[in-house]
A and B are shown apart, each in its own frame.
Chain A
């Protein structure tokens, strides 16, 4: 089953993102021309279309825009993890990402716009950016 696990597909564009996580840092792209910040990795700024950007380390704080709890494993590798959550987190610096919330399985403690902080975890040998709720009871 582990052979089926959907690991990130690393390419030339997103390699700095995954390398950053392996070093314990969450990075996002910031446009050198218009200062817009974004994820996921792209070769051009989606705001001004310029191709000059710098990878910046995120503070790791953000808010949870929304979340869902899977009761169905759409791919076999997740069967043993049901029910599991996926959340959308908006970083303090602006970029948004799909992620998981760790350290809390009582979903009555979840609410939209709840503050979260970065909690990098190893997943099948690869560091991934997950988050935990701040100030949960």
Chain B
């Protein structure tokens, strides 16, 4: 089904501190903008797929959003893979469309952890295993544990972690819609305070309110409807390790190797064919390890890859061109899909010239879930 389904429209709210806006409202705004972008009516939508808001679980949230949209879809509901949900929902929509289960899908996510509650991000209880009793709480600590092992096994340095932050913050600084538009130097990075050693403040993504949505339909329907710039989906894939960080058999392996292998095979391409990349950068260690596991470099070489010109505008792979989670918005992943779409349309803020194929990496939990999207023209 390579190329048979397209992303026909994208939309998002502003990102940052959006006092008083609910996740439902932010979803509706993003969907309205995505529908306008695709120039289609909401009456054409027969699937509404929603990521649950991480900061506060709400039962039947998908139905709540559909109702606010005034849509009674054939297929609707919530997907729960944390940051991998966006691409996984797009993949599900594509497969459902291909098999005539629905025709046009709205895929969306929104949350307000910045001004609402974010208690769900911590694990403040003692736990049946006493993990909380030992002080083993916070997502940052999970990634720090992984980063430390990677540093010990492969010699990855804090300067190499910094290279990711410097690249993504530089791109975000040029993005007028980015929540954080301040570039950083290596010195800035090294002076930023330790949160959970070895991770510093500048290793960590932003905390943001906001919403984003995409419209998915068949390439044929997009052609008939006169959608201006449909972006074909060439490949997708998923992978999971559901072992808790403390139980994981190998801390330095992400599920990018599984989800990437599936997506590259489906798209009929390999990493060398990719012109532009949007990687989930919740923490700087994440894209370093994802690059390795996708095969952009060898296992263990992700640190030197990012610090020695493997990413960036000077002959490297243009990377997180709108700033990613470190700079554009901490939203869990859909903004990366939207930037991937803009690059394929040729209308990105920092446009990669002649970009023909783009990859988007989503992942969630503490590297538990992974999904990959390969886009074309």
Contact = CB atoms under 8 A, between A and B. Distances in A.
A41 B196 CA distance: 27
A128 B141 contact: no
Interface string B321-346: 00000000000000000000000000
Contacts of A66: 145-146, 148-149, 152, 251
Nearest to A7: B126
Contacts of A100: 134-135
A16 to B, nearest CB: 12
B122 interface: yes
B153 A112 contact: yes
B134 A75 contact: no
B145 A70 contact: no
B129 A97 contact: yes
Interface in A31-58: 39-41
Q: Is the interface of B mostly helix, strand, loop or mixed?
A: loop
B129 A40 contact: yes
Contacts of A111: 152
Please classify how large the interface on chain A is, using the bins under 10, 10 to 19, 20 to 34, 35 or more.
35 or more
A34 to B, nearest CB: 17
A22 interface: no
A74 B124 contact: yes
A137 B306 CA distance: 36
Contacts, number: 113
Contact of B128 (A11, A99, A126): A11
A6 B197 contact: no
A104 B244 CA distance: 26
B136 A67 contact: no
B64 interface: no
B125 interface: yes
Given A6-B124, A66-B251, A67-B148, A74 B138 contact: yes
Nearest to B137: A74
Contacts of A68: 141, 144-145, 148, 196-198
Interface in A46-91: 65-72, 74-75, 78, 81, 83-84, 86, 88
A8 interface: yes
B138 A71 contact: no
B354 interface: no
Contact of B152 (A5, A39, A112): A112
Interface in B187-201: 193-198
A123 interface: yes
6 contacts: A6-B124, A74-B138, A83-B197, A98-B136, A123-B133, A129-B130
**Chain A to chain B: the 3 pairs with minimum beta-carbon distance, closest first:** A112-B152, A40-B129, A6-B126
Given A13-B128, A72-B196, A128-B133, 8 more contacts: A8-B129, A65-B251, A66-B148, A71-B196, A97-B129, A111-B152, A128-B134, A129-B130
